[in-house]
Amino acid sequence: MRVSDVLASKGSDAVFTILPEASIRELLDVLAERNIGAVVVSDDGEKMLGIVSERDIVRKLRDVDNPRDMPVTSIMTTDVQVCAPEDSFGSLMLVMTEHRVRHVPVLDDGKLVGVLSIGDAVKYRTDQLEFERDQLNKYVAGG
């Protein structure tokens, strides 16, 4: 099981990014309209400059009086945990668990090719377990 398998099962090749000069207001619109919990900050859609998650918003803006016009660069995380398509599914889960992150960008030779959330990982594993259960049931039933 590889990260590329999880990306393929996710079924969408859309990677949502936001420009570094975008405002917090624009960031909130993107998160709400796309129903996502994080967005990669990029000036070209391929090179990752950082990531902004709901956690960043809560932790970094709670004491700011009027943050809506601030740039996303003021709250983005730049020390981002990433993975590669050839990484194992287990290593992805380890990164999420050890670093307590819910979104991990997938980079292939430095190019952004996807973002996986903890929800994507859980769905992939659940689907896999259900498939294995169904196969065992067929085997036991003699099919």
Mean pLDDT across the stretch 99-128?
A: 93
Buried b (16+ CB within 10 A) or exposed e, 90-129: eebeebbeeeebebbbbbeeeebbbbbbbebbeebeeeee
- How do the domains of the chain map onto residue ranges? 3-140
Mean pLDDT across the stretch 129-140?
A: 85
CATH class of 3-140: alpha beta
Q: Kindly state the tokens that stand for 92.
A: 């992805």
State the pTM of this model.
Answer: 0.86
Q: Is the pLDDT of residue 62 over 90?
A: no
Q: Is there a contact between 108 and 85 (Cβ–Cβ < 8 Å)?
A: yes
Percent of the chain residues topping a pLDDT of 90: 72
Task: Give 71-113 pLDDT, tens digit per residue.
Answer: 999 999 999 999 999 999 999 999 999 999 999 999 999 999 9
Interior angle at CA 100, CA 133 and CA 105, nearest 5: 80
Model confidence band, residue 22 (pLDDT cutoffs 50, 70, 90): very high
Q: Is the pLDDT of residue 12 over 80?
A: no
Percent of the chain residues topping a pLDDT of 70: 98
Q: Out of 7-11, 36-40, 88-92, 111-115, which region has the weakest mean confidence (pLDDT)?
A: 7-11
Q: Which residues contact 128 (CB under 8 A, 6 or more apart)?
A: 1
Q: Out of 5-14, 52-61, 70-79, which region has the weakest mean confidence (pLDDT)?
A: 5-14
Would you give the distance in Å from CA 28 to the centre of its chain?
A: 16
Q: Is there a contact between 73 and 41 (Cβ–Cβ < 8 Å)?
A: yes
Q: Is the pLDDT of residue 13 over 70?
A: no
